Amino acid sequence: MVRHPETGKLVKHGVWRTWNADGTLNKEGRYVLGVQDGVWKFWYPGVAQPITETYKMGTKISDSATPKR
């Protein structure tokens, strides 16, 4: 977390990961001053490859097809 230079509020910044209750990785990506930026990966149980979404300063610009289980 960092302070936003314009608002002074704490915002997410840097690499972020979340995990499922069983300890497996759920999602991974990067925040820049509180907005998603770059490639985000999402893992689903029973699916070998993650789906991806690409963001440019908070706007989704592309994604991969939702994987079949």
- Report pLDDT digits (tens) over 2-55: 999 999 999 999 999 999 999 999 999 999 999 999 999 999 888 888 999 999
Q: Is the pLDDT of residue 69 over 70?
A: no
**pTM, two decimal places:** 0.82
| pLDDT range class, residue 66, cuts 50, 70, 90 | low
- Domain segments of the chain as ranges: 2-63
Q: Is the pLDDT of residue 58 over 80?
A: yes
DSSP notation for 2-67: EE-TTT--EE--EEEEEE-TTS-EEEEEEEETTEEEEEEEE--TT-SSPEEEEEETTEEEEEPPPP
What's the confidence (pLDDT) of residue 61?
A: 93
Of 51, 45, 53, 50, the residue nearest 21 (C-alpha) = 45
